Chains A and B, each alone.
Chain A
Amino acid sequence: MAEATANGLGQHTLHGAQAHDAAATGTAPAEVHQEHPIKLYLVVWVWLFILSACSYLVDYVGLQGYLRWSLILIFMMLKAGLIVAVFMHMAWERLALTYAIILPPILVLVFVAMMVFESDYTLLTRTVFFGTEP
């Protein structure tokens, strides 16, 4: 393997390693793909802090009902999206991989729907047989 020969020759410097990467693949230096400015990560980091603070405030302020649940879900999805897209580099991956990874978890929603019906039924039978008082 090309890697073995290159290393066998003692090209251990940083520059040597990069040159060897390029030589092994016959293309431009390897790091083109995932090299983003540090600033991008800092911005995402700050946004994650803001969104976390917002979802904590939902509880702190004591919102209830549908407003509470929808806000929790919105902040959760935004955070998850930022982590997957930027931190995990999914935004720059090839579409074939992105779909293979992102689509299956969405199908879990079918499972969720099934279990919602199931729990409603369980609650109904419990209420019927044991009464409303715990």
Chain B
Amino acid sequence: MADTTLTHIGQTQPRPAGLRGVAADWSSDQRAFKNVSWGKAMMWIFLLSDTFVFGCFLLSYMTARMSTRVPWPNPSEVFALHIGGSNIPLILIAIMTFVLISSSGTMAMAVNFGYRHDRRKTAILMLLTAALGATFVGMQAFEWTKLITEGVRPWGNPWGAAQFGSSFFMITGFHGTHVTFGVIFLIIVARKVWRGDYDTGRPGFFTSRRGRYEHVEIMGLYWHFVDLVWVFIFAFFYLW
């Protein structure tokens, strides 16, 4: 069956260089993604569609911010925390950024150890990733609580343009949901790694198919994407 192909068959199929090679791969009567397994290709295509979802959110935020006559609240002040007698701008958001980047780093190493069939290290690194992700969601919940008690609502806020609240809750809410689902799936895959499912070929409870260590990399793709989206949210919503 086609599913025996093969991100890692270790052989690179010959192709012409550059664009000519891309055209050759996309020509008719063949698979476009030669050495890419269906699982990985589908994850990439899902992430592409997700890119458009978040792209639309950021676009609507841009449109709202550019077209309003009312001044936009200054994120640097709105997201400042009062620590040790002075207001430090954006400090919580900065810490959240570092937490998420760290989780991406541990995930990348988990993928690496997965391909070395090091079950213990892979599972531990994935659980560490999940823990950092949960920390991120917790800090986001704190952020939401703080803003809501200060009077931010989707239809208004004390500092300026009403669209600030709706953009904030929409964008960070969807991102937080993605992180939450990522944490859940990380725990599921980590359990499978720990139990040795990918070595013994134990069928998955939902698909009844045998998993491979490539699943760790596919899981990693999703997790890095969540980090990637945060890079754009951090730049456009918090820093701009």
Asked if A123 CB lies within 8 Å of chain B CBs, one says yes
A87 & B104 in contact (Cβ 8 Å cutoff): yes
Asked if B115 CB lies within 8 Å of chain A CBs, one says yes
B59 closest partner in A (C-beta): A115
**CB proximity to B under 8 Å, residues A18-70:** 18, 21, 24-25, 27-36, 38, 41-42, 44-45, 48-49, 52, 55-56, 58-60, 69
A94 & B36 in contact (Cβ 8 Å cutoff): yes
Please give, as numbers and ranges, the residues of chain A lying within 8 Å of B115 by CB-CB distance.
30-31, 34-35
Please give, as numbers and ranges, the residues of chain A lying within 8 Å of B11 by CB-CB distance.
27-28
Interface string of B192-229 (1 = CB under 8 A from A): 00001011110000000010000001001100110110
A17 & B63 in contact (Cβ 8 Å cutoff): no
Specify which of B9, B71, B240 is in contact with A25 (CB 8 Å cutoff).
Answer: B9
Question: What bracket does the count of chain A residues touching chain B fall in?
Answer: 35 or more
**CB proximity to A under 8 Å, residues B1-60:** 1, 4, 6-12, 15, 18, 21-22, 25-26, 32-36, 41, 44-45, 47-48, 51-52, 55, 59
- Separation of A59 and B34 alpha carbons in the complex (Å): 45
Closest beta carbon of chain A to B146's beta carbon, Å: 18
Please give, as numbers and ranges, the residues of chain A lying within 8 Å of B127 by CB-CB distance.
none
B4 & A88 in contact (Cβ 8 Å cutoff): no
B199 & A95 in contact (Cβ 8 Å cutoff): no
Please give, as numbers and ranges, the residues of chain B lying within 8 Å of A111 by CB-CB distance.
55, 59
Question: What bracket does the count of chain B residues touching chain A fall in?
Answer: 35 or more
* Interface 9-residue window, one of B93-101, B131-139, B177-185: B93-101
Specify which of B35, B44, B104, B200 is in contact with A101 (CB 8 Å cutoff).
Answer: B44
B94 & A34 in contact (Cβ 8 Å cutoff): no
Interface of A is mostly: helix
A1 & B4 in contact (Cβ 8 Å cutoff): yes
B112 & A35 in contact (Cβ 8 Å cutoff): yes
B224 & A83 in contact (Cβ 8 Å cutoff): yes
Given contacts A94-B33, A127-B69, A2 and B4 within 8 Å (CB-CB): yes
- Separation of A12 and B117 alpha carbons in the complex (Å): 12
Please give, as numbers and ranges, the residues of chain B lying within 8 Å of A12 by CB-CB distance.
196, 199-200
Specify which of B66, B70, B228 is in contact with A83 (CB 8 Å cutoff).
Answer: B228
A-side interface residues toward B, CB under 8 Å? 1-4, 6-7, 12-14, 17-18, 21, 24-25, 27-36, 38, 41-42, 44-45, 48-49, 52, 55-56, 58-60, 69, 72-73, 75-76, 79-80, 83-84, 86-89, 93-97, 99-101, 104-105, 108, 111-112, 115-116, 118-120, 122-123, 126-127, 130, 132, 134
Known: A24-B4, A83-B227, A120-B67; 7 extra A-B contacts, CB below 8 A, are A29-B10, A41-B109, A52-B101, A80-B232, A87-B220, A88-B220, A97-B32
Ranked nearest first, the 7 interchain pairs of A and B with the lowest CB-CB distance are: A96-B25, A119-B66, A122-B67, A7-B201, A45-B105, A119-B67, A76-B235
